[in-house]
Chain A
Amino acid sequence: MTDVTLTGAFTTEESAAIRGDFAILSRSVRDGKPLVYLDSGATSHKPRQVLDAERAFYEEHNSAVHRGAHQLAEEATDAFESARETIAHFIGAPAREVVFTKNATEALNLVAYAISNAAAPGAMDGVDPVLAARFALGKGDEIVITEMEHHANLVPWQELARRSGATLRWIGITDDGRLNLDDLDTVITDRTKIVAFTHVSNVLGTINPVAAIVERARAVGALTVMDACQSVPHLAVDVADLGVDFLAFSGHKMLGPMGVGVLWGRYDLLAAMPPFLTGGSMIEDVRMEGTTYAAPPQRFEAGVPMAAQAVGLAAACDYLTALGMPRVTAHEHALTEALLAGLAQRPWVHVVGPVDGQNRSGAVAFVVDGVHPHDVGQILDDAGVAVRVGHHCAWPLHRRMNVTATTRASFAAYNTLAEVDTLLSALDRVPALFGVAI
């Protein structure tokens, strides 16, 4: 087994107990091979505690929340709102700043479309003009993103630029997969109204220097929007420490259910924003002539919300809190170091992203010389090892790194060092099969 520092990693007994909570990890795939799931960056598995919480909601309290006055409606509303509190607490925020969305993609689109909607006549009536000005976007203004964004934090800003006439600019990446901070002062300028960036790259695993970006964005008065999909599940995240204005993450990547995501935003900003989706629940008063809106977070939660999924996500937060986020981070770091060390011993493999473990999370993308990543993934799959192949919804990033696609392993708390070894052994079949000299 690869020699790594195991400080803080889960012990064998702890790992066994954690894995026991995930029924799917005991199944086999591809003719009886034990499942080695290294694709948690795409979606994580869900422990029994999360599934039980969802089931209990449906079996005991199911009702449409924020509607009706019968007992079930009260209980469902309580369950939903206490889930909001738990999730808010998990990221160090007050509950009223947490908006439920169907996923992180919708959360990011919510911000982009709210900014579009702010341009409509009368949309910002009654809002402090200084605050309203922050949401005013038009020709001559600029939106800044980075070259390492997932399409979810890239396409919505391209589209917003197209609708508003603003210009999209981006911070480049160095050859070793870090943001090129030399660009910071030239790309983020007085024209910048929005800076949208990822906390952790879903491909490179890079943990970005949030403080430097936020400091520069604040200096020019730009709104900051963070994609935290790959950080909230793996690192202790506190929104107050980060200093950003908005932050989005999805439930299903952090041991929670599919169909629920979160937009966190500073309350004064949420309160100034016009809605994205409209309909039931998000209103204050509706007349045939027009509608006024509820205060946040309800303003951004049109329609019957995903209460059972929110309850499941709160259970996932409780589960991660019980494991201890510092332990989760340390454990995944040990796995990442082991994988990077193993790959470094194989000169025919090249890691796309930082090759050292510094400021790096547990997504490790790589290419094998002369073999397409899809084919590499297929050989791993044949050994029961599930990894992601392709461009991982970050096509411009792959183009920048001069690769068509990559094979990516990504970790969660339930993975083990033995699984890293299984991946490496399976990888060793690749050169011979495809006739690559090693």
Chain B
Amino acid sequence: MDLYQEIILDHSKRPHHAGLREPFNAQVHHINPTCGDEVTLRVQLRGEGRSAVVADLSYEALGCAISTASTSVLADEVTGHSVEDALTTLAAMRRMLTSKGSDSGDEEEIGDGVAFAGVSKYPARVKCALLGWTAFTDALARAGVDITATLTSNPLTSDPIASDTTASDTIANSTIAGNT
């Protein structure tokens, strides 16, 4: 089967940038209610608005190989990049995952994310692959980034599979932490 690429298995066994770190501007906790997978994710931004840089993305993931590896790739692809670039990467990843196999992904845009092209042929697993990415979008919003332009300019973000992935139990604790 083409689902479990070596890259995915490597990321899932040794997830990059794993662990929860300080400081952070926002923390979110997302759950996939169909299987109980969870991710707690923090973002720390440097700068303002969409030109801000993702200084750190830290997380604790409890999930399947697909969701763990996908969050690991997310951390690789957005850390050190501007929010603008991160949102472009997110849109490309989402486009590929919801393409039902027609979009094999561009390595220039999503790096190791291309290993997840096979996931798009398994609709039940798309939620797994998007768990961390959806949490990241939410964390950006809670850190004060206006993500609405991205959401409205990308019709795929309204895909029901993607949007109902992780509705529950979202916490923004940038104020609790107070460590911007």
Contacts and interface: CB of A to CB of B under 8 A. Distances in A.
Interface string A158-178: 000000000000000000000
B36 A372 contact: no
A30 to B, nearest CB: 8
Interface stretch (A83-91, A125-133, A276-284, A374-382): A374-382
Contacts of A404: 35-38, 62-63
Nearest to B13: A435
Nearest to A389: B35
B44 to A, nearest CB: 28
B9 interface: yes
A388 to B, nearest CB: 10
B63 A372 contact: yes
Contact of B64 (A375, A395, A433, A435): A375
Nearest to B2: A382
A348 interface: no
Given A391-B36, A395-B36, A433-B4, A374 B128 contact: yes
A379 B128 CA distance: 16
Interface in B33-70: 34-38, 62-66, 68
B125 interface: yes
Contact of B3 (A378, A389, A398, A434): A378
B9 A391 contact: no
A379 B64 CA distance: 13
Nearest to A30: B1
Contacts of B122: 378
A435 B38 CA distance: 23
Interface size band for B: 10 to 19
A390 interface: yes
Given A378-B122, A435-B9, A405 B35 contact: yes
Interface string B1-21: 101100001000100000000
B9 A378 contact: no
A170 B119 CA distance: 40
Contacts of B1: 378-379, 382
Contact of A374 (B9, B13, B35): B35
B35 A434 contact: no
Contacts of B68: 372
A435 B9 CA distance: 9
Interface string A351-382: 00000000000000000000111110011001
Nearest to B65: A375
Contacts of A395: 36
A434 B9 contact: yes
Nearest to B31: A395
A374 to B, nearest CB: 4
B22 to A, nearest CB: 26
A372 to B, nearest CB: 4
A379 B1 CA distance: 8
A375 B35 CA distance: 11
A183 B114 CA distance: 53
Contact of A390 (B36, B38, B66): B36
A374 B4 contact: no
A434 B37 contact: no
A435 B8 CA distance: 13
A372 B65 contact: yes
A390 B65 CA distance: 14
A371 B36 CA distance: 15
Contacts of B38: 404
Contacts of A371: 65
A404 B64 CA distance: 10
Contact of A434 (B34, B36, B63, B65): B65
A391 B35 CA distance: 6
Contacts of B34: 390
Given A374-B64, A374-B128, A435-B13, A390 B3 contact: no
Interface string A392-434: 0001001000001100000000000000000000000000011
B15 to A, nearest CB: 13
Identify the interface centre among B1, B64, B122: most chain A CB within 10 Å of its CB.
Answer: B64
A398 B36 contact: yes
* Residue of A375, A382, A389, A404 with highest tally of chain B CB at under 10 A: A375
14 contacts: A372-B63, A374-B128, A378-B3, A378-B125, A382-B1, A382-B3, A389-B35, A390-B36, A404-B35, A404-B63, A405-B37, A433-B9, A434-B9, A435-B9
Given A375-B65, A405-B36, A405-B37, 4 more contacts: A374-B125, A378-B122, A404-B36, A404-B62
Question: Which 4 A/B pairs are nearest by Cβ-Cβ distance?
Answer: A372-B64, A374-B64, A390-B35, A382-B1
